[in-house]
Structure 1
Amino acid sequence: MTFYEKEIHRIGRKVYANQSQINAVIRTRQHLENNYGANTNLNYLSSVGAVSKYHLLRLFKRYYGLTPTQYVTDKRIGKAKEHLKDGMSVTQTCFAVGFQSLGSFSTLFKRKTGKSPHQYQKEQLSRSI
Protein backbone atom coordinates (compact mmCIF):
# COMPACT_ATOMS: atom_id res chain seq x y z
CA MET A 1 0.00 0.00 0.00
CA THR A 2 1.40 3.39 -0.97
CA PHE A 3 1.77 6.35 1.35
CA TYR A 4 -1.19 8.12 -0.27
CA GLU A 5 -3.43 5.09 0.10
CA LYS A 6 -2.50 4.79 3.78
CA GLU A 7 -3.23 8.47 4.31
CA ILE A 8 -6.61 8.20 2.61
CA HIS A 9 -7.53 5.24 4.78
CA ARG A 10 -6.35 7.07 7.90
CA ILE A 11 -8.30 10.20 7.01
CA GLY A 12 -11.30 8.11 6.03
CA ARG A 13 -11.45 6.44 9.39
CA LYS A 14 -11.10 9.80 11.06
CA VAL A 15 -14.02 11.47 9.27
CA TYR A 16 -16.14 8.29 8.89
CA ALA A 17 -16.12 8.40 5.13
CA ASN A 18 -17.82 5.88 2.93
CA GLN A 19 -15.30 3.19 1.91
CA SER A 20 -16.67 3.04 -1.63
CA GLN A 21 -15.91 6.76 -2.02
CA ILE A 22 -12.34 6.22 -0.86
CA ASN A 23 -11.97 3.33 -3.30
CA ALA A 24 -13.30 5.48 -6.16
CA VAL A 25 -10.76 8.21 -5.40
CA ILE A 26 -7.92 5.71 -5.11
CA ARG A 27 -8.89 4.06 -8.43
CA THR A 28 -9.00 7.45 -10.11
CA ARG A 29 -5.61 8.52 -8.73
CA GLN A 30 -4.02 5.22 -9.73
CA HIS A 31 -5.40 5.65 -13.22
CA LEU A 32 -3.97 9.17 -13.39
CA GLU A 33 -0.59 7.94 -12.12
CA ASN A 34 -0.41 5.29 -14.81
CA ASN A 35 -1.89 7.36 -17.65
CA TYR A 36 -0.71 10.91 -16.95
CA GLY A 37 0.24 11.40 -20.61
CA ALA A 38 -3.18 10.46 -21.93
CA ASN A 39 -5.90 12.99 -22.54
CA THR A 40 -8.22 12.14 -19.65
CA ASN A 41 -11.39 14.14 -19.28
CA LEU A 42 -13.71 14.26 -16.32
CA ASN A 43 -16.40 12.13 -17.98
CA TYR A 44 -13.90 9.34 -18.54
CA LEU A 45 -12.45 9.64 -15.03
CA SER A 46 -15.91 9.42 -13.51
CA SER A 47 -16.39 6.08 -15.27
CA VAL A 48 -13.04 4.88 -13.86
CA GLY A 49 -14.08 5.91 -10.36
CA ALA A 50 -17.69 4.77 -10.93
CA VAL A 51 -19.14 8.01 -9.51
CA SER A 52 -20.62 11.12 -11.08
CA LYS A 53 -18.10 13.61 -12.39
CA TYR A 54 -19.09 16.37 -9.98
CA HIS A 55 -19.01 14.03 -7.01
CA LEU A 56 -15.60 12.82 -8.16
CA LEU A 57 -14.33 16.41 -8.25
CA ARG A 58 -15.50 17.03 -4.69
CA LEU A 59 -14.11 13.74 -3.39
CA PHE A 60 -10.75 14.07 -5.13
CA LYS A 61 -10.34 17.63 -3.87
CA ARG A 62 -11.32 16.59 -0.35
CA TYR A 63 -8.82 13.72 -0.17
CA TYR A 64 -5.91 15.09 -2.20
CA GLY A 65 -6.37 18.84 -1.95
CA LEU A 66 -6.29 19.14 -5.75
CA THR A 67 -8.69 18.58 -8.60
CA PRO A 68 -7.86 15.69 -10.95
CA THR A 69 -6.70 18.20 -13.57
CA GLN A 70 -4.36 19.91 -11.11
CA TYR A 71 -3.06 16.52 -10.00
CA VAL A 72 -2.29 15.46 -13.59
CA THR A 73 -0.64 18.80 -14.32
CA ASP A 74 1.66 18.45 -11.32
CA LYS A 75 2.46 14.87 -12.33
CA ARG A 76 3.25 15.97 -15.90
CA ILE A 77 5.49 18.81 -14.74
CA GLY A 78 7.36 16.40 -12.44
CA LYS A 79 7.89 13.94 -15.29
CA ALA A 80 8.92 16.79 -17.59
CA LYS A 81 11.62 17.78 -15.10
CA GLU A 82 12.94 14.22 -15.16
CA HIS A 83 13.01 14.14 -18.97
CA LEU A 84 14.72 17.52 -19.18
CA LYS A 85 17.37 16.42 -16.66
CA ASP A 86 18.00 13.35 -18.79
CA GLY A 87 18.70 15.54 -21.82
CA MET A 88 15.47 15.10 -23.78
CA SER A 89 14.65 18.13 -25.94
CA VAL A 90 11.95 20.53 -24.78
CA THR A 91 9.71 19.64 -27.72
CA GLN A 92 10.07 15.90 -27.16
CA THR A 93 9.42 16.37 -23.45
CA CYS A 94 6.31 18.42 -24.13
CA PHE A 95 4.67 15.66 -26.15
CA ALA A 96 6.08 12.80 -24.05
CA VAL A 97 4.29 14.01 -20.93
CA GLY A 98 0.97 14.60 -22.69
CA PHE A 99 0.83 18.27 -23.60
CA GLN A 100 -0.62 19.13 -27.00
CA SER A 101 1.03 22.52 -27.43
CA LEU A 102 4.62 23.59 -26.86
CA GLY A 103 3.47 27.09 -25.96
CA SER A 104 1.04 25.98 -23.27
CA PHE A 105 3.63 23.53 -21.91
CA SER A 106 6.30 26.23 -21.67
CA THR A 107 3.93 28.73 -20.06
CA LEU A 108 2.66 26.23 -17.52
CA PHE A 109 6.15 24.91 -16.77
CA LYS A 110 7.39 28.44 -16.10
CA ARG A 111 4.39 29.23 -13.91
CA LYS A 112 4.96 26.09 -11.81
CA THR A 113 8.78 26.17 -11.59
CA GLY A 114 9.69 29.82 -12.12
CA LYS A 115 11.89 28.91 -15.11
CA SER A 116 11.30 28.12 -18.73
CA PRO A 117 11.89 24.47 -19.70
CA HIS A 118 15.04 25.46 -21.59
CA GLN A 119 16.41 27.43 -18.61
CA TYR A 120 15.60 24.54 -16.27
CA GLN A 121 17.34 22.03 -18.54
CA LYS A 122 20.37 24.26 -18.97
CA GLU A 123 20.75 24.61 -15.18
CA GLN A 124 20.35 20.90 -14.57
CA LEU A 125 22.85 19.93 -17.24
CA SER A 126 25.41 22.46 -15.99
CA ARG A 127 25.07 21.01 -12.47
CA SER A 128 25.79 17.51 -13.68
CA ILE A 129 29.05 18.50 -15.39
Structure 2
Amino acid sequence: MSYPRVYLYKRLVQAKLFIDEQYATPINLGSVAGEAFFSKFHFIRLFKKAYGRTPGQYLTAVRVDRARTLLRGGHNVTDACYAVGFDSLSSFTGLFKRLTGQTPSAFKRECQAMRAEPLHFVPPCFAAHHGWASSPAVAAASVAVPPAAAPAEAPKEQF
Protein backbone atom coordinates (compact mmCIF):
# COMPACT_ATOMS: atom_id res chain seq x y z
CA MET A 1 0.00 0.00 0.00
CA SER A 2 1.35 3.40 -0.97
CA TYR A 3 0.50 6.56 0.97
CA PRO A 4 0.30 10.06 -0.52
CA ARG A 5 3.44 12.12 0.04
CA VAL A 6 1.54 14.79 1.93
CA TYR A 7 0.47 12.20 4.48
CA LEU A 8 4.08 11.02 4.94
CA TYR A 9 5.36 14.60 5.29
CA LYS A 10 2.72 15.41 7.88
CA ARG A 11 3.91 12.46 9.93
CA LEU A 12 7.53 13.60 9.61
CA VAL A 13 6.61 17.12 10.68
CA GLN A 14 4.72 15.65 13.64
CA ALA A 15 7.88 13.79 14.69
CA LYS A 16 10.02 16.91 14.23
CA LEU A 17 7.62 18.92 16.39
CA PHE A 18 7.81 16.16 19.00
CA ILE A 19 11.60 16.61 19.10
CA ASP A 20 11.21 20.40 19.30
CA GLU A 21 8.86 20.12 22.27
CA GLN A 22 10.48 17.23 24.14
CA TYR A 23 14.18 17.99 23.52
CA ALA A 24 14.95 18.28 27.24
CA THR A 25 13.56 14.84 28.09
CA PRO A 26 15.23 11.50 27.42
CA ILE A 27 14.23 10.84 23.81
CA ASN A 28 15.13 7.71 21.94
CA LEU A 29 14.74 6.88 18.29
CA GLY A 30 11.93 4.43 18.99
CA SER A 31 9.76 7.07 20.66
CA VAL A 32 10.27 9.60 17.87
CA ALA A 33 9.68 7.03 15.12
CA GLY A 34 6.62 5.83 17.02
CA GLU A 35 5.28 9.37 17.10
CA ALA A 36 5.33 9.32 13.29
CA PHE A 37 4.14 5.68 13.05
CA PHE A 38 7.22 4.52 11.13
CA SER A 39 9.75 1.79 11.78
CA LYS A 40 13.03 3.17 13.13
CA PHE A 41 15.05 2.57 9.98
CA HIS A 42 12.42 3.82 7.57
CA PHE A 43 11.95 6.89 9.75
CA ILE A 44 15.69 7.70 9.73
CA ARG A 45 15.80 7.50 5.92
CA LEU A 46 12.70 9.68 5.46
CA PHE A 47 13.74 12.24 8.09
CA LYS A 48 17.23 12.62 6.61
CA LYS A 49 15.79 12.97 3.12
CA ALA A 50 13.36 15.68 4.28
CA TYR A 51 15.60 17.63 6.71
CA GLY A 52 19.15 16.85 5.57
CA ARG A 53 20.19 15.26 8.86
CA THR A 54 19.24 12.29 10.98
CA PRO A 55 16.80 12.64 13.89
CA GLY A 56 19.73 12.26 16.30
CA GLN A 57 21.70 15.03 14.61
CA TYR A 58 18.62 17.24 14.63
CA LEU A 59 18.00 16.58 18.34
CA THR A 60 21.61 17.47 19.15
CA ALA A 61 21.36 20.69 17.12
CA VAL A 62 18.13 21.67 18.91
CA ARG A 63 19.67 20.99 22.31
CA VAL A 64 22.83 22.97 21.53
CA ASP A 65 20.75 25.86 20.17
CA ARG A 66 18.65 25.94 23.34
CA ALA A 67 21.81 25.73 25.46
CA ARG A 68 23.22 28.76 23.61
CA THR A 69 20.06 30.67 24.53
CA LEU A 70 20.45 29.70 28.20
CA LEU A 71 24.15 30.62 28.23
CA ARG A 72 23.38 34.01 26.64
CA GLY A 73 20.84 34.53 29.43
CA GLY A 74 23.46 34.01 32.14
CA HIS A 75 23.00 30.34 33.11
CA ASN A 76 26.14 28.45 33.99
CA VAL A 77 27.41 25.71 31.69
CA THR A 78 26.44 22.79 33.94
CA ASP A 79 22.88 24.02 34.41
CA ALA A 80 22.47 24.63 30.68
CA CYS A 81 23.83 21.17 29.91
CA TYR A 82 21.34 19.34 32.08
CA ALA A 83 18.43 21.70 31.34
CA VAL A 84 18.50 20.85 27.64
CA GLY A 85 18.64 17.08 28.13
CA PHE A 86 22.31 16.09 28.02
CA ASP A 87 23.38 13.47 30.56
CA SER A 88 27.10 14.19 30.45
CA LEU A 89 28.90 17.50 30.72
CA SER A 90 31.86 16.19 28.70
CA SER A 91 29.70 14.98 25.79
CA PHE A 92 27.78 18.27 25.90
CA THR A 93 31.02 20.25 25.73
CA GLY A 94 32.35 18.17 22.83
CA LEU A 95 29.12 18.38 20.82
CA PHE A 96 28.75 22.10 21.54
CA LYS A 97 32.28 22.75 20.32
CA ARG A 98 31.79 20.61 17.21
CA LEU A 99 28.61 22.50 16.25
CA THR A 100 29.59 26.05 17.23
CA GLY A 101 33.38 26.04 16.98
CA GLN A 102 33.91 26.99 20.62
CA THR A 103 33.38 25.51 24.05
CA PRO A 104 30.31 26.47 26.09
CA SER A 105 32.53 28.37 28.55
CA ALA A 106 34.17 30.36 25.76
CA PHE A 107 30.75 31.09 24.25
CA LYS A 108 29.46 32.34 27.61
CA ARG A 109 32.56 34.54 28.13
CA GLU A 110 32.09 36.01 24.66
CA CYS A 111 28.42 36.79 25.40
CA GLN A 112 29.36 38.47 28.67
CA ALA A 113 32.09 40.49 26.97
CA MET A 114 29.68 41.50 24.22
CA ARG A 115 27.20 42.81 26.80
CA ALA A 116 29.95 44.69 28.66
CA GLU A 117 31.64 46.28 25.61
CA PRO A 118 29.40 45.94 22.55
CA LEU A 119 31.50 48.35 20.45
CA HIS A 120 34.46 45.96 20.58
CA PHE A 121 32.43 43.54 18.48
CA VAL A 122 31.55 46.04 15.77
CA PRO A 123 33.98 46.18 12.85
CA PRO A 124 36.09 49.35 13.35
CA CYS A 125 35.43 50.70 9.86
CA PHE A 126 31.66 50.39 10.40
CA ALA A 127 31.86 52.06 13.83
CA ALA A 128 33.98 54.93 12.51
CA HIS A 129 31.70 55.45 9.52
CA HIS A 130 28.70 55.79 11.85
CA GLY A 131 30.48 57.94 14.44
CA TRP A 132 30.57 55.26 17.12
CA ALA A 133 34.31 55.45 17.66
CA SER A 134 34.05 56.56 21.27
CA SER A 135 36.30 53.75 22.46
CA PRO A 136 40.06 54.33 22.03
CA ALA A 137 40.44 50.75 20.76
CA VAL A 138 37.80 51.30 18.09
CA ALA A 139 39.13 54.75 17.19
CA ALA A 140 42.71 53.48 16.89
CA ALA A 141 41.70 50.57 14.69
CA SER A 142 39.44 52.56 12.40
CA VAL A 143 40.43 53.45 8.94
CA ALA A 144 39.42 56.81 7.54
CA VAL A 145 36.49 56.42 5.23
CA PRO A 146 36.85 58.77 2.26
CA PRO A 147 33.78 60.82 1.44
CA ALA A 148 31.80 59.57 -1.49
CA ALA A 149 32.84 61.22 -4.72
CA ALA A 150 30.22 63.29 -6.49
CA PRO A 151 28.86 61.49 -9.51
CA ALA A 152 30.23 62.77 -12.79
CA GLU A 153 27.74 64.67 -14.85
CA ALA A 154 26.67 63.00 -18.01
CA PRO A 155 27.33 65.08 -21.13
CA LYS A 156 24.24 66.93 -22.24
CA GLU A 157 22.99 66.14 -25.63
CA GLN A 158 22.26 69.00 -27.90
CA PHE A 159 19.57 68.76 -30.48
- Give the TM-score category using the shorter length: 0.7 to 0.9
Supply the AA of the counterpart residue of 1:20: Y
1:25 maps to: 12
1:58 maps to: 45
Does residue 47 of the first structure (1) align with residue 34 of the second (2)? yes
State the distance in 1 between where 2:47 and 2:100 align: 24
1:75-129 CA deviation, whole Å, 9 max, x = no partner? 1111111110111000000000100000110111111111111111000111011
2:92 maps to: 105
Superposition pairs for residues 88-127 of structure 1, below 5 Å? 88-127=75-114
State the distance in 1 between where 2:86 and 2:11 align: 26
Scaled by the length of structure 2, what TM-score is found?
0.69
Q: Which protein has greater RCO, CA pairs closer than 8 Å, 6+ apart?
A: 1
State the distance in 1 between where 2:92 and 2:27 align: 17
State the distance in 1 between where 2:70 and 2:64 align: 10
1:38 maps to: 25
- CA RMSD in angstroms comes to 1.0
State the distance in 2 between where 1:22 and 1:111 align: 30
Scaled by the length of structure 1, what TM-score is found?
0.84
Taking only the aligned residue pairs, the percentage that are identical comes to 35
- Kindly indicate which of the two structures has a greater share of residues assigned to helix: 1
Q: Could you list the runs of 5+ residues in structure 1 that have no partner in the other structure?
A: 1-16
State the distance in 2 between where 1:123 and 1:18 align: 45
Larger Rg: 2
CA drift at 1:53: 1.0
